[in-house]
Amino acid sequence: MKKYGLIVFILGISLLFGSGCKKDVDKDPDPDPVLPDTLKITSFVFSGLNPVIQGVIDHKTLTITGSIPREANIRNLQVTVTHNEGATLTPPSGFSYDFINPLEFSLRKDAQSVKYTATVSYAASNKNELLAVNFPDIFRTGSISGSNIALEVPFGTNLNEVLLQLSISEHATVTPASGSLVNLSNPLQITVKAENGDEKVYNLTTNVLPQETGIRAFWIPDPSHTTFLTSIENIQQGVAQAKELNFNTLYVCAWAKTRTLYPSQTLADNSTYTSARDGMFTPNYTGISGDPLTDLIQVAHAEGLKVILWFEYGFMARWGGAPTPQNDRILAVKPHWVGINNQGQPANYNNSDYYYNAYNPEVQQFMLDLIMESVNNYDIDGIQGDDRLPAMPRNAGYDQYTVSRYMAEHNGNTPPADASNTNWVRWRVDILNQFGKDLFDAVKAAKPDVLVTNSPNPYPWAFENLMQEWPQWLQAGTVEVLSVQCYRYNISSYRYTVNEMVSYFNANSDGNLQRLAPGIILYGSAGLTDPNLVVEKMKHNRSVGLTGESFFYNVPIADERIKKVIRAMYPGPAIFPTF
């Protein structure tokens, strides 16, 4: 019996404690706070936004949450807070606060207080705009219109793998990814996905422009500036590079510093050189034929390139100092050929470019004979004068021969002391223009297919300084191709110069812009020209209808930065114009 009673007692105790444990489990461990009706934040408004945004208040958790647009400044948000009358809010309503971290707002009335924690986050952006489409390796930009993108590329562009760079709305993503290689042979879809998941699809279409017809040339100076012409190996390498970069014309220096590219009997007959070969740039050249010009023509023509001889020095005798019979091989036997200015000194431009007397018929005949020697003896495609042919410094013409001729044609009156006297300028310019006509006629009489070209400075500067009136040459039909030296070092100056050149050309010619291939400088006093500037110049040329360029000079073209530009702008060959 005692044992049975003990068991009953233990069971009773167990039931008692078990019942107590069940009560604790059912009890709410976190009961809702009981806020007095006189102590509540009733609204929390981000009043500085447009439109304003209402914060969400949770009285159970004493939290306030707000979601603001991406463009809002989370560190400077103005809030307007309403609450029960008579309570004090800290910090106060109506001011701007930094919500980069959660911020507490305390409400107090009498002896009671409550704290709300305000947390602000950015809403997922719905922006999915494509802002820019660039192809940096080919220096092209897509034109965006609505959901369509148009891209124009030159003939010959490889569309299979093109580097794509995209600019999109902030916080959005894009497919294909910016920086990827894409195939533009077919239309390309570009999808921009907003942060909130909204997508916008753009369609890119590529238009390949027709093959250009134009002159693509570069100048090759004498061997003191480049090794291009010094050996057959260098000639072959230089021509191969020109071909690979889709040039079609070489402007090759044939006359500079009283020396010639080819053996010249004309030079030997009018100088102290003892033989035709003695006056060459490279008298010891061997190569294939022993003549660098013969070898160059053969190699260039085999690759379809034109060879135009550039008579760089023209009527200029010497650079950097006055020519004398002691330092000039021509004046040593023809001292009366020196040009004289209105100060009685050797005629020069800018105290650096000193001239023979281009008004003297003997000097003119020498230059004609020198040029015709190359026309008659070689299979060249053209000859080229420049800012020194035909040209003379404006203050020149005061030598004995020119003064006597002027007096004979002006009733014994001597030339005006003012070198810029209008009639005196006109008289001398006409002599130079006539030389240009005589040169043109002589070349065409010998070989009608040989082009007569020129690379003067921009007009009217060329006229005002060096007596070159190339608009008149166009009117007279004595120049077929112009490579005006538009050497400018910023894009605005270049555009102005090119537009001015085109205006003069159209006003004085047949308007065939294929005859214009403006000169672009690749290397100046500041070093290599910015490749992006070269691109902008070439693009401007196309925008005004020009289809070719002439680059000065061959050495910078071998720089990889310039080669990248040329490959992109000349991805395929151009057709050489017919005139």
Q: Which CATH class is domain 41-122?
A: mainly beta
User: Which numeric CATH code is attached to 130-208?
Assistant: 2.60.40.2340
Token pair of 483 as six digits: 């490579």
Q: Is the pTM of this model over 0.75?
A: yes
Number of Cβ within a 10 Å radius of residue 99 = 21
Q: Give the three-state DSSP class for 49.
A: coil
**Residue 261: phi, psi to the nearest 5?**
-70, -35
Q: Give the three-state DSSP class for 531.
A: helix
Half-sphere exposure of 497 (CA within 13 A, CB side): 22
Q: Which residues pair with 528 in a beta bridge?
A: 523
Amino acid (1-letter code) at residue 306? K
DSSP string over 257-317: TTEESS--HHHHHTSS-SSTTTTBSSTT--TTTS-HHHHHHHHHHHTT-EEEEE-TTTTEE
Q: Thinking of the domain 216-569, which architecture would CATH place it in?
A: Alpha-Beta Barrel (3.20)
Q: Give the three-state DSSP class for 482.
A: strand
pLDDT at 526: 82
Q: Give the three-state DSSP class for 28.
A: coil
**Residue 477: phi, psi to the nearest 5?**
70, 30
**Distance of alpha carbon 91 from alpha carbon 549, whole angstroms:** 70
Q: Is residue 307 within 8 Å of residue 297, measured between CB atoms?
A: yes
Q: Which residues belong to CATH 2.60.40.2340 in the chain?
A: 41-122, 130-208
Angle at 164 between CA 160 and CA 167, to 5 degrees: 160
**Distance of alpha carbon 98 from alpha carbon 3, whole angstroms:** 75
Peptide bond just before 263 cis, omega within 30 deg: no
pLDDT at 34: 56
Strands (E), 286-381: 306-310, 316-319, 348-349, 353-355
pLDDT in tens, the chain (579 residues): 334 343 333 334 343 334 443 434 344 444 545 566 779 999 999 999 999 999 999 999 999 999 999 889 999 999 999 999 999 999 999 999 999 999 999 999 988 999 999 999 999 999 999 999 999 999 999 999 999 999 999 999 999 999 999 999 999 999 999 999 999 999 999 999 999 999 999 999 999 999 999 999 999 999 999 999 999 999 999 999 999 999 999 999 999 999 999 999 999 999 999 999 999 999 999 999 999 999 999 999 999 999 999 999 999 999 999 999 999 999 999 999 999 999 999 999 999 999 999 999 999 999 999 999 999 999 999 999 999 999 999 999 999 999 999 999 999 999 999 999 999 999 999 999 999 999 999 999 999 999 999 999 999 999 999 999 999 999 999 999 999 999 999 999 999 999 999 999 999 999 999 999 999 999 988 899 999 999 999 999 999 999 999 999 999 999 999 999 999 999 999 999 998
**Distance of alpha carbon 537 from alpha carbon 494, whole angstroms:** 7
Quick one: DSSP state of residue 475?
H
